[in-house]
Amino acid sequence: MHTGSVRFIIEGLSLERLINQCVAHGIMLESVVRPGVRSICATVSSADYPIIRDFASSQGWMISVRRITGWPSIRMFAWRRAALVTGVIVFLALAWYTCNCIWSIQIYNAGPYIGEVRGVLRERDVRIGRFGMWIDVEDLRVALERRLTGLSWVSVSKDGVRLKVYCVVGTPGVAGGGDASPGDIVAARDGIIESVRVAAGTAAVKQGEAVRKGQMLIKGEERTWQNETNAVKARGEVIARVWYTADAIIPANELITVPTGNAAERKVYVTPWLEWSPDSVPAFEKMDVSVRTLPIGAVLPLWARLESYEEVTFEERVRDEASLQAEAALAALRLAREEAGLDKPIVDKWVEYSMMGDGMKAHVTLELTEDIATALD
């Protein structure tokens, strides 16, 4: 596609034939000027200029370009100034990349957890100079919440070249219920409040607050329009994020049977009352036994039992780490699910592995949301 125009001048004899040629090909000439008797200066579109140039060459005329405008002129400039254009493109690319990198990491209100927050950032390779599009702020927020259970609320956001991490340190309640009294609703276990729905009474906690087992959640009292306090039996639902943990240890070594190559077979005739065999059981110290039963009599209750014996030895083998971790994690997950309740959906889970003597230990943590409200009688 050609967009633009070319200003040219032709010098020669019988230049009127140029006008006839343009009319024949439907070429429009603009700003036609006769600088001299043997010259014509005109403007034509860049798409039609090659036709005029070839015709002028066939007639022996001299043609030269005075000015090029539009895309062809830009292309010609870029060709002549290739190094400059390349430098400009590289500069713009570097400027765009620089403006999308993180040049400042700001952590707010982390308190005693500032070091752990920085540790999580280092593990996720969140650092000064990191390309911002490679940082998943939602994934980073989930990782911080998972690791730092002492924080009741975490927010991660990108503001231009700055990464901002806002934290709210949870304030644990007093174990044992504090000032809770009969009629109040208290926490059945530790957790971080997600929502509070009060049917009767007054909420004593709010969303994002960390609570301990036994802490008062809904107080059994209500205020009247006369600002008086009436005792009621608290009722409501308090949904919180809670965690269940379990450990499982799987031995790193296992015993397997290795055939020695010695084998024997034995046929035993069996009835409902007795069994007899012409062969004795082979005197193998350790062996694998397989049995097949074949009927003999169509009417009589008689059948033959074919016994195959294969001598084996026991060999201790070290299991590979991947299978150990998978089995230990499955066992620990089953224990944690039994404690939490098999019917409860899991929000998140994570597993930590460690070698314990001759075994692999898996520590599973399950995160769930459940109603932790329980009435204090």
How far is it, in rounded angstroms, from Cα 43 to Cα 57? 18
Q: Is residue 90 part of a domain?
A: no
Tokens of 310: 């294969």
Least confident of 157-161, 176-180, 275-279, 334-338: 176-180
More confident residue, 95 or 2: 95
Q: What is the mean pLDDT of residues 44-57?
A: 84
Q: Is residue 295 part of a domain?
A: yes
Q: Say whether both 68 and 117 belong to one domain.
A: no
Q: Is residue 370 part of a domain?
A: no
Q: Say whether both 314 and 266 belong to one domain.
A: yes
Q: Is residue 276 part of a domain?
A: yes
pLDDT band for 77, please (50, 70, 90 cuts).
Answer: low
Cβ-Cβ contacts under 8 Å for 93 (sequence gap 6 or more): none
Provide the whole-model pTM.
0.44
Instruction: Express each pLDDT in 86-136 by its tens digit.
Output: 777 888 888 888 888 888 888 888 777 777 888 888 888 888 888 888 888
Tokens of 219: 């107080």
Instruction: Express each pLDDT in 166-192 by its tens digit.
Output: 887 765 544 444 455 667 899 999 999
Instruction: Express each pLDDT in 12-28 by its tens digit.
Output: 887 778 878 888 888 88
Least confident of 80-94, 146-160, 249-263: 80-94
Cβ-Cβ contacts under 8 Å for 24 (sequence gap 6 or more): none
Q: Say whether both 70 and 134 belong to one domain.
A: no
Q: Is residue 47 part of a domain?
A: yes
Q: Is the pLDDT of residue 73 over 70?
A: no
What pLDDT is stored for residue 174 in this prediction? 44
Q: Which of 280, 296, 318 is the last residue of a domain?
A: 318
Q: Is residue 197 part of a domain?
A: no
Domain span holding position 294: 253-318
Domain total in the chain:
3
Q: Which of 272, 292, 318 is the last residue of a domain?
A: 318
Q: Which of 44, 63, 78 is the last residue of a domain?
A: 78
Q: Is residue 43 part of a domain?
A: yes
How far is it, in rounded angstroms, from Cα 276 to Cα 316? 38
CB-CB contact of 334 with 345 (8 Å): no
What's the CATH code of the domain at 114?
3.10.20.310
Cβ-Cβ contacts under 8 Å for 29 (sequence gap 6 or more): 19, 22, 42, 43, 44
Q: Is residue 372 part of a domain?
A: no
